[in-house]
Structures are given as structure tokens and as C-alpha cells.
């Protein structure tokens, strides 16, 4: 972990990459070139084509360099983006300007945890696409500037054993982070409460390989609505705490940390201000409701509506004697971009060892180019030692990452 006490540089553990057009076409076998993800230009439009889907890039995913009055969810073309959105070397200039020493990037076209490949019909091709993305992320995006990028991989969610093998393969290449759905059940996958322990191969592989599980907000493909007619901006103000708090509670109550003590979880782009209340409430539930709530019976229905059968399964909640705050401090890391309340209150609750900094470049919530400035203002009440931990020391330790020397200018 860093011993330098400079406050001019941070490691951002949540940024994003707009994948260059050749990521998959340059890597999958030639027989798949007509069906693998590819970029198509049609008049003034640009979009990805994959199987029977067309996917444009939202303008809110590439706002770096634009004024807020220019923000729009309408599709954006590469020529209208800042080059740092899709070019790793151009990104370095923007990172230096903002005091970002190193950056961990989440995917765009595949979505935050690779959902598009889970949804694909051809799973043989989908697996090749997962591997192609990971090789590109590790070898090219991160390999272009050693010590400036922290690799984060995607996994084939449809096959936990293949996912475990991919974790092991990528860990051998230096990856120490994977992106995982904040709520797999919304994708049609088993949850962490699955009595068949669907995810155990993934959890075991991640724990054994020291690969951190990152649950990025939005990786459930669920867009919560307060009401059906609530404007999108109102839902945006509400949904981060709703989705990420649900993710945290599932991890705390599911017992996976007890079964896999080496697991580490990062709540990517989840903010931190809400964490103390929800963990406090979880503890109250465990302390007061454990007598009746520990044995939970599920009724599972199989088959179609014409021929259904059902069985019941029990999930054992270990509530009596639970210490969720201790579990939190041993396994969970809160991450924030701009959270004045969290910086004041939640860090005291979580501890400075369990919080990391983010910039969210190049998204519309990003603090770029004032990333280090904003972070320093919100952390100014802490000791220099604790500020350095949050700015970069915790990320270095958690992801077993050695950053490059400080650039000659920045911050």
C-alpha cells in the first residue's frame, strides 16, 4: 500500500469505457464475424449490431468535456465524443488533468455486468465474446499504460463453472476485480438466497483468486420507478440508494461471507450516505426477529401454467448473534463520487479503511475534471492518513494494485 501522503492524486474505482469498434471483431473466430458485436454506420447514426439487436450509445454515457446544458440521452457518435471515452492513451491526459492516478473501468455496450451476453441466444458465441472483452480489457486497455488502469472483468453468468474458470484465467493475467449483478434475480438468474447455491463456484473462485466482486448500480437492468408516470430525473434521484441498499442487504443476510471468508465486495457507484441507516436497521431486524425469521420457507413453482408442480425449500438465515457492522467492515467497501453527507457521517460508521473514491468518467454523474478537488474538499475534515486511504490506499490494497509513479503534472 502507498506510503506517499500526497493528496494530489486519487484512484477512481468506478469509471467507464466506450468500447472501440474492433473489440470483438478483432478477436472472435472469422466464422462469427457476421454475428459477433460490430459497429454499423447508417447515415448519421452509429450503433452496435449483435444477433438481432441494435444498440446505440447514450449521450449520457459520454458527457466528458460537455457543459451540463448539452447533456442528452439521445444517441451519440464516436466523432462527437471526447477521445478519452474510447482511447486509453487519450484517457491518460484527462486523468492527469483531474488528478486521477489510476482508473478501473466498467463496460458500456455489454452493460455493467455483461448482461447482453447473458441475454444472447448463442451461448457459444457469447462465451467467446466474454473472453474477448476480458482479453482486450487486460491486454490492451490496461496494458497500454501499466500502473494506470485496474482491470475489471465480466463473467458468463449463465454457467457458474465456466464463470469460475474465466475468473481463474483472468486472475492469472493480473485481474483482481469482476463486475457482478447487483440483483441477479431481475435478470432471471438465481439470487444469493438460492438453496441450490448456484453461485458457489463463482464465489469460491473469486475468494481463492483474491478477485473483488463489484456490484455496479444498474447491473440488474432494473430501472425503479416511484410511480409509472414519475419523470426520469425524479427516479434518478431515488434509484441509486434503493438498488444498492438492496444489494448490500442480500449479501449481508445471505451468509456468503461466512461460507467464503475471503470474499470482498465493492458497492460500485452506490454512494455511501445511506449505508449506516440500512445496516443499523438490518441489525435491529436480526436482534428482534431472529426467533421466527431464521427459517424461511420458499414455495417454488415449476412448469407452465397448464401443468405446474410445486415444492418447498428452506433457506436458513443466521440471524441470532449476527454482527452486521463487523461483517461490513471485514468484507464490504463503499464507493462514492460526490457524497458530502456520506463523507461526513458514513465514513465514521464504515471506517476509513472501507471507503474508496470514484469519478465516473465519462458519464453525466462524473466529477471530471474536478475529481481530486471535489474529493479533497469532502475529505478535508479527516486526517491526512485517512484521506490517503480513501483517495488511493484502500484501492491499492484491495485490488493488489501497484500504481505508476505520479505523473509530472495533475491535481
Per residue in 124-181, pLDDT (tens digit) is 999 999 999 999 999 999 999 999 999 999 999 999 999 999 999 999 999 999 999 9
State the pTM of this model.
0.94
Secondary element (H or E) of residue 391: none
405: pLDDT strictly greater than 80: yes
246: cell is: 438492496
In contact, 21 and 111? CB cutoff 8 Å: no
* Cell 457518435 belongs to residue: 77
pLDDT value of residue 240: 84
* Mean pLDDT computed over 390-400: 98
136: cell is: 482486450
* Mean pLDDT computed over 200-218: 97
Q: How does the average pLDDT of the chain come out, rounded?
A: 94
pLDDT value of residue 47: 98
* Residues forming beta bridges with residue 49, ordered by sequence position: 38, 54
The number of angstroms, rounded, from the C-alpha of 379 to the middle of its chain's C-alpha atoms is 23
* Cell 470514484 belongs to residue: 358
Q: E-assigned strands of 59-200? A: 100-106, 149-150, 177-179
Q: What percent of the chain has pLDDT over 90?
A: 89
Backbone angles phi, psi at 353, to 5 degrees: -75, -10
Reported as a single tens digit per residue, the pLDDT across 75-113 is 999 999 999 999 999 999 999 999 999 999 999 999 999
Gap between the Cα atoms of 393 and 366, Å rounded: 21
Gap between the Cα atoms of 12 and 163, Å rounded: 26
Backbone angles phi, psi at 54, to 5 degrees: -115, 130
Reported as a single tens digit per residue, the pLDDT across 32-50 is 999 999 999 999 999 999 9
- ∠ CA 159-161-162, nearest 5°, is 65
Report whether the peptide linkage leading into residue 362 is cis, meaning its omega lies within 30 degrees of zero. yes
pLDDT value of residue 301: 43
In contact, 20 and 111? CB cutoff 8 Å: no
pLDDT value of residue 165: 98
Reported as a single tens digit per residue, the pLDDT across 288-313 is 999 998 877 654 444 444 444 455 66
26: pLDDT strictly greater than 50: yes
pLDDT value of residue 316: 82
CB burial class (10 A; 0-12, 13-18, 19+) of residue 227?
A: exposed
121: cell is: 441466444
Gap between the Cα atoms of 105 and 153, Å rounded: 9
DSSP for residue 78: G
pLDDT band at residue 357 using 50, 70 and 90 as cut-offs: very high
Gap between the Cα atoms of 149 and 95, Å rounded: 11
Q: What percent of the chain has pLDDT over 70?
A: 94
pLDDT band at residue 255 using 50, 70 and 90 as cut-offs: very high
Give 180-239 as a DSSP string.
--S-GGGGTS--TT-TT-TTHHHHHHHHHHTPEEE--TTTT-----SSTT--HHHHHHHH
Amino acid at each position: 500500500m502507498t506510503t506517499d501522503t500526497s493528496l494530489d492524486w486519487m484512484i477512481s474505482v468506478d469509471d467507464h469505457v466506450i468500447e472501440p469498434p474492433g473489440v470483438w471483431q478483432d478477436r472472435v473466430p472469422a466464422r462469427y464475424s457476421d454475428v459477433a458485436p460490430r459497429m454499423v454506420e447508417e447515415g448519421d447514426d452509429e450503433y452496435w449490431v449483435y444477433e438481432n439487436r441494435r444498440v446505440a450509445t447514450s449521450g449520457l454515457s459520454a458527457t466528458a468535456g460537455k457543459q451540463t446544458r448539452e447533456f442528452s440521452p439521445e444517441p451519440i457518435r464516436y466523432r462527437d465524443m471526447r477521445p478519452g471515452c474510447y482511447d486509453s492513451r487519450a484517457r491518460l491526459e484527462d486523468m492527469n488533468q483531474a488528478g486521477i492516478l489510476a482508473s478501473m473501468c466498467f463496460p458500456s455496450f455489454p452493460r455493467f455486468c455483461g448482461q447482453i451476453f447473458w441475454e444472447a441466444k448463442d451461448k457459444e458465441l457469447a462465451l467467446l465474446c466474454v473472453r474477448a472483452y476480458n482479453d482486450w480489457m487486460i491486454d490492451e486497455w490496461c496494458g497500454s499504460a501499466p500502473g494506470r488502469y485496474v482491470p475489471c472483468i465480466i463473467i458468463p453468468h449463465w454457467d457458474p463453472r465456466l464463470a469460475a474458470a474465466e475468473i481463474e484465467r483472468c486472475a492469472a493475467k493480473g485481474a483482481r476485480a469482476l463486475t457482478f449483478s447487483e440483483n441477479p434475480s431481475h435478470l432471471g438468474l438465481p439470487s444469493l438466497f438460492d438453496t441450490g447455491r448456484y453461485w458457489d463456484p463463482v464465489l469460491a473462485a473469486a475468494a481463492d483468486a483474491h478477485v473483488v466482486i463489484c456490484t455496479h448500480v444498474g447491473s440488474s437492468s432494473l430501472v425503479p420507478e416511484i410511480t409509472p408516470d414519475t419523470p426520469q430525473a425524479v427516479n434518478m434521484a431515488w434509484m441509486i440508494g434503493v438498488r444498492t441498499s438492496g444489494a448490500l442487504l442480500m449479501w449481508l443476510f445471505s451468509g456468503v461471507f461466512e461460507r467464503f471468508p475471503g470474499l470482498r465486495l465493492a458497492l460500485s457507484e452506490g454512494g455511501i450516505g445511506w449505508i449506516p441507516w440500512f445496516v443499523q436497521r438490518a441489525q435491529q431486524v436480526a436482534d428482534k426477529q431472529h426467533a421466527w425469521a431464521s427459517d424461511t420457507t420458499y414455495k417454488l413453482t415449476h412448469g407452465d401454467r397448464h401443468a405446474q408442480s410445486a415444492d418447498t425449500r428452506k433457506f436458513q438465515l443466521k440471524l441470532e448473534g449476527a454482527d452486521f457492522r463487523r461483517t461490513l467492515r471485514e468484507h464490504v467497501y463503499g464507493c462514492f463520487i460526490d457524497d458530502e453527507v456520506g463523507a461526513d457521517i458514513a465514513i465514521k460508521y464504515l471506517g476509513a479503511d472501507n471507503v474508496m473514491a470514484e469519478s465516473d468518467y465519462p458519464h453525466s454523474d462524473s466529477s471530471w475534471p474536478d475529481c481530486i478537488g471535489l474529493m479533497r474538499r469532502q475529505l478535508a475534515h479527516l486526517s491526512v492518513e485517512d484521506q490517503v486511504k480513501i483517495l488511493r490506499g484502500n484501492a491499492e490494497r484491495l485490488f493488489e494494485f501497484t500504481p505508476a509513479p505520479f505523473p509530472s503534472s495533475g491535481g
